[in-house]
């Protein structure tokens, strides 16, 4: 069985080939794709995809890159979207101090506001954090015991992962765990408790070994899961069984 807990199937790279990509995933045992959105148009597109494809569910949120577009009208739209049938979380949200596409103050404000929304609606969150782990943790900590979710495409240290685990977060691995130059991630993948591990592709980005350079697709989650299972010296099936249980625990509403 395959599950991809974070992908962007509304990306323009899939125009005209999406049916093939989804069919390929299902033919390999794919049961679920959680499609993450990042702005108003992406939320609309993601919901449309979830209406067309039974295996696609969505999270709705404003990415830190797009934080500067978060006005009152957007937040009204976001709250309505979060109440839709196949929207199962708020995300992706967070902080990105690597690209700084939006001012940091604005990123923090939008992050906080979306965490308040997740708390109000009792929904899990999908967190994007790049070069911003200290501030991300400080903000998430304010919601300790009230909001939890997943650290998507986790790229930090084991020390930091422990902090997120203490807050109840799940740690999700993607392509970089398969990269030869990745030093921190194998350590994190070996130490995260099995009942807190998730796997994803972040398609179309972060294509795993051995397909680096090609557009990523949900089928490639297999290579991420194989790598994590290898590191932990457990079988692929044991790992995916754990991931399935973790998805059900975190995103209660999903039927798959
Ligand atoms: Zn993403």
Span 204-221, average pLDDT: 96
Instruction: Please determine, for residue 253, whether its predicted confidence score (pLDDT) is greater than 80.
Output: no
Phi, psi of 8 (to 5 degrees): -125, 75
Which residues have a beta carbon within 5 Å of ligand 1, which is an ion?
Answer: 36, 202
Instruction: Please determine, for residue 232, whether its predicted confidence score (pLDDT) is greater than 80.
Output: yes
For 142-181, the pLDDT digits (tens) are: 999 999 999 999 999 999 999 999 999 999 999 999 999 8
The H-assigned helical ranges of the chain are: 18-27, 40-52, 72-82, 104-121, 133-141, 158-166, 184-191, 221-232, 236-250
Does this model's pTM top 0.95? Answer: yes
For 76-104, the pLDDT digits (tens) are: 999 999 999 999 999 999 999 999 999 99
Tell me, rounded to whole angstroms, the distance of Cα 248 from its chain centroid: 15
d(CA 225, CA 177): 10
Residue 256: the pLDDT is: 86
User: How many angstroms does the Cα of residue 58 sit away from the middle of ligand 1?
Assistant: 12
Span 27-31, average pLDDT: 97
Sketch out the chain's domains with CATH numbers: 2-250 (3.20.20.140)
User: How many angstroms does the Cα of residue 177 sit away from the middle of ligand 1?
Assistant: 16
User: How many angstroms does the Cα of residue 45 sit away from the middle of ligand 1?
Assistant: 15
* Selection from 111, 145, 141 nearest residue 126 by Cα: 111
Give yes or no for a contact between 218 and 7, defined as CB atoms under 8 angstroms apart.
yes
User: How many angstroms does the Cα of residue 217 sit away from the middle of ligand 1?
Assistant: 13
Q: Return the SS3 of 62.
A: coil
For 34-59, the pLDDT digits (tens) are: 999 999 999 999 999 999 999 999 99
Q: Average model confidence (pLDDT) for the chain?
A: 97
Vertex 22: Cα angle to 5 and 208 (nearest 5): 55
User: How many angstroms does the Cα of residue 18 sit away from the middle of ligand 1?
Assistant: 18
Cβ-Cβ contacts under 8 Å for 180 (sequence gap 6 or more):
209
User: How many angstroms does the Cα of residue 110 sit away from the middle of ligand 1?
Assistant: 17
User: How many angstroms does the Cα of residue 135 sit away from the middle of ligand 1?
Assistant: 19
For 5-25, the pLDDT digits (tens) are: 999 999 999 999 999 999 999
User: How many angstroms does the Cα of residue 95 sit away from the middle of ligand 1?
Assistant: 13
d(CA 94, CA 18): 28
% pLDDT > 70, the chain: 100
């Amino acid at each position: 069985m395959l599950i991809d807990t974070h992908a962007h199937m509304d990306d323009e790279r899939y125009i005209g080939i999406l049916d093939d990509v989804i069919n390929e995933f299902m033919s390999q045992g794919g049961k679920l794709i959680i499609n993450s959105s990042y702005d108003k148009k992406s939320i609309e597109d993601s919901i449309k995809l979830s209406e067309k494809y039974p295996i696609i569910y969505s999270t709705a949120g404003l990415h830190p890159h797009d934080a500067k577009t978060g006005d009152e009208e957007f937040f009204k739209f976001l709250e309505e979207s979060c109440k839709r049938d196949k929207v199962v979380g708020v995300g992706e949200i967070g902080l990105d101090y690597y690209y700084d596409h939006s001012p940091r103050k604005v990123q923090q404000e939008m992050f906080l506001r979306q965490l308040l929304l997740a708390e109000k609606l009792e929904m899990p969150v999908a967190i994007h954090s790049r070069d911003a782990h200290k501030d991300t943790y400080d903000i998430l900590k304010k919601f300790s015991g009230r909001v939890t979710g997943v650290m998507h495409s986790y790229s930090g240290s084991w020390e930091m992962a422990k902090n997120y685990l203490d807050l109840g977060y799940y740690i999700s691995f993607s392509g970089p765990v398969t990269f030869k130059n990745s030093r921190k991630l194998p350590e994190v993948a070996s130490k995260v408790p099995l009942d807190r591990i998730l796997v994803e592709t972040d398609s179309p980005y972060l294509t795993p070994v051995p397909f680096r350079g090609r557009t990523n697709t949900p089928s490639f989650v297999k290579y991420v899961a194989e790598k994590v299972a290898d590191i932990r010296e457990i079988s692929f099936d044991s790992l995916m069984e754990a991931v399935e249980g973790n998805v059900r625990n975190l995103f209660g509403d999903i039927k798959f």
